[in-house]
Structure 1
Amino acid sequence: MKKCTMRAVCASAALAALAMGPFTSTVAEEVRVPVAVHAERSAQENLPRTGMTQSSVRNGWGDPRETTGPVGEPPISQWHYEDFVVYFEGDRVIHAVLKPQR
């Protein structure tokens, strides 16, 4: 009785795939995301920078329209302005993102 090893199984599968090569087809879908447009808009906008304090954001952009949090550990909060949202960890900005254009 012939003993089959994993190497033999892999080799057999590879040979079978090569033999069927011309008869198989691959289907792919192209997804386009307008990242460049968002990046260009972000570069043009004056957004709070990482590391800024809550007081410096308030001094530069005024009071937010809405705030949420803090939630979790470390405490994460959000300040919502008309065109962007600022995310804080504790008292410091960790990220600012533009809202989608209407």
Structure 2
Amino acid sequence: MNLKFVLGSTLLVAGLFAATPAVHAEDLVLGQTTVRAVKTPDRGLTMSQVEKRFGAPDAKLPPAGGDTPLHPTINRWKYDGFTVYFERNIVLHSVRDGA
């Protein structure tokens, strides 16, 4: 291959990516249903950080696991619209209700 062709193609692709605007959706429309974006805790936050930012949960569900070091305790907190899953006291995932 020609070096000029490779460099030109690379610059063209890089230019296309640079010209693409960043996209952030607040609402997702699926047919006649609109799904609202729900802000949820990010992975890695502690329980105290989640409670500070999102307030007290609606419910703290019974912990699961914790029977061996390979099965750490999983805690679940229910909020209006989502559930937060913790490994010990660190956020693993936040899942929107109905997802």
**TM-score normalised by the shorter chain: which range applies?**
0.5 to 0.7
Does residue 83 of structure 1 match 2:76? no
CA separation of 1:41 and 1:94: change in aligned 2, threshold 3 A: farther
Given residue 57 of structure 2, which amino acid in structure 1 is its aligned partner? P
Equivalent in the alignment of 1:49: 42
Task: Give the structure-2-normalised TM-score.
Answer: 0.56
Deviation at 1:41, TM superposition (A): 4.8
More strand by share: 2
Q: For 1:59-81, what per-residue CA distance to the aligned partner results, in whole angstroms no more than 9, with x for missing partners? A: 01101111113211300010000
SS at match of 1:46: coil
Unmatched tracts of structure 2, length 5 or more? 1-28, 66-70
- 1:53-72 mapped onto 2 (5 Å cutoff): 53-72=46-65
Unmatched tracts of structure 1, length 5 or more? 1-35
More helix by share: 1
Q: For 1:15-64, what per-residue CA distance to the aligned partner results, in whole angstroms no more than 9, with x for missing partners? A: xxxxxxxxxxxxxxxxxxxxx95xx958x321101100000000011011
**Percent pairwise identity:** 33
Equivalent in the alignment of 1:97: 95
Count of equivalent residues: 63
SS at match of 2:41: coil
Moved more, 64-73 or 86-95: 64-73
Query: How many angstroms apart in 2 are the aligned matches of 1:69 and 1:52?
Result: 20
